Each structure stands twice: as C-alpha cells, then as structure tokens.
Amino acid sequence: MNPDDRVKALLMSEQALGRTLDRMAQQILEGVAPSDDPSATHALVGMQTRGVHLARRLQQRIAAQEQVSLPLGVLDVTMYRDDVRLRMASPQIRTTRIPFDVSGRHLVLVDDVVFTGRTARAALDALMDRGRPASVRFLAIIDRGHRELPIAADIVGRHVPTLPGEEVRVRVREVDDREGVWLVETSRPR
Amino acid sequence: MAAASEDAPARLPHRHLLDLSAYSADDIRLILDTADEFRAVLERPIRSVPTLQGVTVASLFFEPSTRTKLSFGLAAGRLSAETISFSKSGSSVSKGETLKDTARNIEAMKSDMAILRHSSPGAPHLLARTTNSVIINAGDGAHAHPTQALLDALTMRTRIGPLGDLNVSIIGDITHSRVARSNIRLLTTMGASVTVCGPRTMLPYGLDAMGVRVVDRLAPALEAADVVMALRIQLERQDEGLFPSLREYHARYGLTLEHLARYPALRIMHPGPVNRGVELADAVVDHERAIILDQVTNGVAVRMAVLYLLAPTSN
C-alpha cells in the first residue's frame, strides 16, 4: 500500500480473492465446445504488472479444475498508451512476451482493475498489432466505474462504484507484502 | 517489483543526449532495458507502435552518414513520430553561422527533437543552449557518438553477457574516433575492462586517465578479450603519415581468421562501414563470430529507446 493511502474498506480478503479466481477460471472455459481442445484454441494474456500474476493464478486453477494447460502471454501496453506526452516522464516499459500466435485464438485479457477503459483500449491495439485473434474477452477483478471509453469487462469479480479520490488496490503476494483487495482514499495526483 | 513502483516513470535526469559524460550506470541500464523491449517490436510482423504520435523529430545531418541517418529515421518512424529532414546547403559557411542558421530553422519548423550530425565537436551543445528542442548527438567531430556506444553495449550485453563482466578491446585510430571515446566512457561506467590498441601515432595522451589499458601491439589486446571492436581507418589519413601503408596496418592491426582460431571465444564488432582487408580480413567480416549486423539492428532499437525516454512531455 502506498504511504499516502488511507484504507476505507477491505473489498476482498485473500480467501475471497481466491474464491473469485476459482469462479472466473470456470467462466473462462464455460462456452468451449466438448470437441475443442482449449489449449489449442484459447489463451490468457496478463497485463503488466498484477494482471500477469492473476493470469498465472487463473492458468493454474484451470489446470487443476479442467486438466487443461492454457498458453499464457504477458502484455505491457505502455507503448500504446494515449497519455505518454501528458505525464511528467515516460512510463517504464515492461516486458511483453506472447509466446504463441494470437491469430485465430480466443484470448482472455486479464487485468486487476477496470477504470477509464483507456488501458484496455491500448491493450486491444497492442494485440491487434500481433495478429487477428478469433475473439478477445476482458477479465477484471474489480470494475470501479468512471469509464471514459465504451469498454466493458466480460468477466468481472466485483463491481465497486467508487467516488472521486478513491482508488482500488489489488495486491498479490508475488509483488506485494499482502494479498486481497482494498478501497483506499488517496491525495496522490493521478 | 515493489508496489510503489507500479507505474514508475522512467525518467532520465537529462534533457538531451549530447555525450555520455553525465549519464550514470542506471541511466544507461534504463536505455538498454527499454531498447530490449523495442527490439521485440522490430521482430514482429507489424514493426511500429503509436508511442510518439504527435512528436516531430528533425534530422540535421551536416556530414554524410547513410546508416546513422537511416537508423534514426527508421526509429522515429517505428514510434510513429513525424520526421523532417534538414540538409546542409552546399557552400562553405563558417561554423558559427551554420549553427545559428540551423537553430533558426529548428525553431521555425516547430520540431520537438533534433538529431544532429556535425563535423565540429560541441555543435550539439551549442544547439542545446540556443534552441528549445531536445538535442540528440548523432556524432560531432572526434568528440562523441553516444548512440553508437549504446548500440554497441546492447549488442555486447545481448550476445555475450553482462557489461560489467566483459573485457573489451578497441583497436585502431583512437585519437580521431568519437566511437572509441563514447565506448570507453560507457564501458568504464558499466564496469567493463577496456583495452585500447593501435599505432602510437593513433593513441592520444591521457588515455590512462580514462581508466583503460593502453597497448600498441595486437597480441596483448586479444588475450583475454571477449570482444574486439575494430575501428574504421579513415583512408584519407594515409596522407598524414600516421601509418606507413594500409597493407602494413592490416599486417599489424588487422584481424584475420588466424586470430579467430587462436582465440575461440572472441567476437568481432565494427561500427561500419568496414574497409575489407584493412581493419578486418574479408573472411572475418562474414564470419559467424562477427556480430556487426546485430549492431545495425540494435541501432534502431537503441535510438527508439532514446527518442522515447527523451521525448518532451506536455506538463
């Protein structure tokens, strides 16, 4: 948690986040025809940074629940963001590694929070530059509202309408000192 | 990665890239890491990203340079920046007047960034003081060629290993080489061991103070070297009496297949264009351990990274 964050509510405990990911793992493969091998037709794409870890959790859950190993890609959308020149400095470009051909695949784009929709738009542009997926679904743990573009998440863990000045922090053990989802109030300028 | 760095801005604490003297190891690492990601873009079917849409980049080349100009132009284009080109118009104008005119033209063209190649050392520094544009030095006389050193470093890091572990030998005309100067600066900053080698007539005084080993025979420069960077001999310098003949230069400092056989781990680099049969034997240029074309590819990625990291922001 950032030093200037004031915690207003715990939205999901570690256990609740785990249950949410269990449900989402089932939703990802719900519509797959029995004759299809999802490992050949589907793939997960985790968005840097926490989306990558969440996508890995979903991959592990799908493997445990369905005995299917979905390919996993890592996507950083910094190069496609529309606000690079509006910031004080260029955002750090992180790794992108998509070790499969996206063309013809059903992709599930995984992020922790959907907010304005601009990051998702950038992600769609980034994916389209790599090929022509059969479909792209968007999965977010939290939908906090305040959309600026007509983008909706297909698979949502929880809708949390937020007020100006409030933010949602999804934390995972791989990068943070705790795990769960918090609603915080921050004075930090965005 | 710590939570606080979730969206860490990649800030170079510099407005321009004039030379590498003020660039720290962290700054260099940031450029190389960013270039790594841009290199992945160059390997895709669609090799461009919209990152610098709306940014105007001016190319100001007062000296002929095919590959550096193409490389910067390609880098700007791959980032979706707009590019304009300004060429020296014919006749002899004095150095001061030319740069003043250049500065006026940059301002008039409303460019955000300018890439300058000039025969006078310090020309980019003068432009940085007299215009509002971000200035990137694409080679100024014998002074500096920072993006060449960065692309060389990216090539070494990718093909051989961490820069701090490397023994690098630079062979040739060190006195007149901006490539050597920038490479020495970068490599010593990153902790590499650097040896420079060439005829005594081509080794300037004061090299020891730059933290490099100086030798005038090839053998000690090749022993224990992981990579050898052969510098281009400027053929017009033959008349200056710096070396007796091209044949003798090749005999004493040229790299041959025998050297590759004797030092099996050695890799060969060259900033290009190569004088075949002078700095490198013909067969060495085409050898699999020559990583010269990697340098060219990495040049585009490094220049994309530099343009991205130095692009001006609105607030």
What mean pLDDT is predicted for residues A156-166?
A: 95
B9 interaction partners in chain A (CB closer than 8 Å): 87-92
d(Cα B30, Cα A186) in Å, to the nearest integer? 29
Q: How far is CA B69 from CA B10, B104, B115, B168, in A?
A: 26, 21, 9, 27
A92–B10 C-beta distance less than 8 A: yes
The whole-angstrom distance between B3's CA and the closest CA on chain A is: 6
B38 interaction partners in chain A (CB closer than 8 Å): 93
The residue among A23 and B9 whose pLDDT is bigger is A23
Hunting for tokens 């977010």 — which residue is that?
A140
- Reported as a single tens digit per residue, the pLDDT across B84-100 is 987 765 534 555 567 77
A130 interaction partners in chain B (CB closer than 8 Å): 44-46
- What is the end-to-end Cα distance of chain A in Å, rounded? 16
DSSP 8-class letter at A131: -
The residue among B6 and A94 whose pLDDT is bigger is A94
Nearest to B308 among A90, A125, A131 (CB): A90
Q: Tell me what pLDDT residue B92 has.
A: 43
- What is the end-to-end Cα distance of chain B in Å, rounded? 27
Confidence of residue B168 (pLDDT cuts 50, 70, 90): very high
- Residue to test with chain A: of B5, B30, B37, most A Cβ within 10 A: B37
Q: Tell me what pLDDT residue A188 has.
A: 64
Nearest to A79 among B8, B9, B49 (CB): B49
Q: Tell me what pLDDT residue B50 has.
A: 95
Q: Is the pLDDT of residue B81 over 50?
A: yes
Q: What percent of chain B has pLDDT over 90?
A: 76
Q: Tell me what pLDDT residue A34 has.
A: 87
The whole-angstrom distance between B280's CA and the closest CA on chain A is: 37
Q: Tell me what pLDDT residue B307 has.
A: 97
Q: Tell me what pLDDT residue B178 has.
A: 95
What mean pLDDT is predicted for residues B154-172?
A: 97
Rounded to two decimals, the ipTM of the complex is: 0.88
**pLDDT, averaged across chain A:** 94
**pLDDT, averaged across chain B:** 90
- Residue to test with chain A: of B5, B11, B55, B134, most A Cβ within 10 A: B11
Confidence of residue B231 (pLDDT cuts 50, 70, 90): very high
- Reported as a single tens digit per residue, the pLDDT across B143-156 is 999 999 999 999 99
B40–A96 C-beta distance less than 8 A: yes
Q: How far is CA B170 from CA B25, B111, B220, B236, B277, in A?
A: 20, 37, 12, 21, 18
> Assign residue B280 a region: left if phi > 0, alpha if psi is -120 to 50, beta otherwise?
beta
Confidence of residue B256 (pLDDT cuts 50, 70, 90): very high
d(Cα B12, Cα B29) in Å, to the nearest integer? 11
Q: Which ranges constitute the DSSP H helices of chain A? A: 14-28, 38-41, 50-66, 118-128
Tokens standing for A100?
A: 């499969």
- Reported as a single tens digit per residue, the pLDDT across A72-105 is 999 999 999 988 777 777 888 999 999 999 999 9
Confidence of residue B315 (pLDDT cuts 50, 70, 90): low
The whole-angstrom distance between A125's CA and the closest CA on chain B is: 9
Interface size between A and B, measured as CB pairs under 8 A: 80
The residue among B242 and B52 whose pLDDT is bigger is B52
DSSP 8-class letter at A107: E
Nearest to B44 among A80, A93, A129 (CB): A129
Q: Tell me what pLDDT residue B95 has.
A: 54
The residue among B96 and A53 whose pLDDT is bigger is A53
- Reported as a single tens digit per residue, the pLDDT across B23-69 is 999 999 999 999 999 999 999 989 999 999 999 999 999 888 889 99
B3 interaction partners in chain A (CB closer than 8 Å): 1-2, 171, 175-177
Confidence of residue A182 (pLDDT cuts 50, 70, 90): very high
The whole-angstrom distance between B303's CA and the closest CA on chain A is: 15
What mean pLDDT is predicted for residues A45-53?
A: 97
Q: Tell me what pLDDT residue B3 has.
A: 36
- Reported as a single tens digit per residue, the pLDDT across B260-314 is 999 999 999 999 999 999 999 999 999 999 999 999 999 999 999 999 999 998 7
Confidence of residue B2 (pLDDT cuts 50, 70, 90): very low
A127 interaction partners in chain B (CB closer than 8 Å): none
Q: Is the pLDDT of residue A177 over 70?
A: yes
